[in-house]
Amino acid sequence: MKTLKDVAVGESATIIKIHGEGKVKRRIMDMGITKGTEVFVRKVAPLGDPIEITVRGYELSLRKADAEILEIS
């Protein structure tokens, strides 16, 4: 399973599934990350956390732990 954490800077991916549960999954979905959404990885912090992505026309920073629950294609 490939996750958003595995995507290199400058690449795009499409979300297939969100593996989180409860509040974590709801928070991710409230940010606009849902099944079928295309995301673009803009930057990764020097120590690897957080990851800055572009989703639905705006920039968003995600922790590695949140990026790991997002399955991509």
Per-residue pLDDT of 19-68, as tens digits, reads 988 899 999 999 999 999 999 999 999 887 899 999 999 999 999 989 99
pLDDT of residue 70: 92
Rounded to whole angstroms, how far apart are CA atoms 26 and 29?
Answer: 5
Length of the chain: 73
Residue 70 lies in a domain: no
pLDDT of residue 47: 87
Q: Which domain holds residue 51?
A: 4-13+21-61
pTM: 0.83
Residue 69 lies in a domain: no
- The domain tally of the chain equals 1
CATH code, 52 = 2.30.30.90
pLDDT of residue 20: 83
pLDDT of residue 54: 94
Q: ∠20-5-11 over CA atoms, to 5°? A: 125
